[in-house]
Structure 1
C-alpha cells in the first residue's frame, strides 16, 4: 500500500514539474583582482569581469574593466586574461590599459571573446601597476575559474 501511494505521489510530482533535475554547478561568474603598490602611499589597480564559458573552446569575458585605484599615483595600470588549455599549455590576451586615469569607473573594454582550437580548462585575470620605465611595481592574480564543459 505504501509503495503504491509513494508511486502515485512521485508520478503526480513528476507530471506537475516538481521534480526538476538540478544542473551541475556552473563555474561562470565574476572574477576580479586588485593590487596596491607596496610600501607606498599611492593607490594601485584592479580588474573585473564576468566569465561566461559558452562551450569547451569558447569563453566570453563580459564588461572587462581595468581601473586605476586612487589616490592617483600616475602609474599605468594594465590587465590581461590568462587561459590554460586541457593539455596544460597557456595563452594570454593582449594587455588592456586604464585610460580613465583615477576615475571612479576605470576603462570598460566591453565583451572580450576567446575562441580557440583547443579546449580551455580554466581562466584567470592578471593586473599590474608598472613604472613608466617599464618595471613592474605590483601585480595580482584572480582565482581560477574552471570551464564546466571540459
Structure 2
C-alpha cells in the first residue's frame, strides 16, 4: 500500500475540512492507498478551496494541479474545491465529498474514466469510489516502493 502525506489548507472552513476528511477516509478504506496527515513544512498534497469560477473554471467543482514525472507519479499536488460552484449548482454534502474523492484520485495517478459509475468520471458528482476505482489503484501500486 502506498501513502501520500497531505496538509489541509488553513483557508478551508471546518465544513470544507470535513468534506476532505470524508474523502480521505473513503480512499483509505479501500486498503490500496493511504493518505496521512502532513505538516505545512512536510507534505506532498495541499488541500484547499477557491472561489475562482471564471474563465476555464466557470463550471468546475474541483481542480488539481500536479507536478511530477512523465510516468504519472506525482511529487506535489494542490487540490482545490471550487466552493462558489457548489452553491451555484446546488451540490449536496455527498456530492462535494465525491468531488473531493475525484480530485484525490488524480493525486494518486488516476485519470478520467468513461465508466458512468466511476468516481473518476469527468463530470462526477454522484458517484463515490467504485470497486473498479479501487482495483485501478491496487494495480497502480501493486509493487512495494522501490521494486520494479
TM-score clears 0.5: no
With normalisation by structure 1, the TM-score equals 0.26
Higher strand share: 1
Greater relative contact order (Cα < 8 A, sep 6+): 1
Higher helix share: 2
With normalisation by structure 2, the TM-score equals 0.26
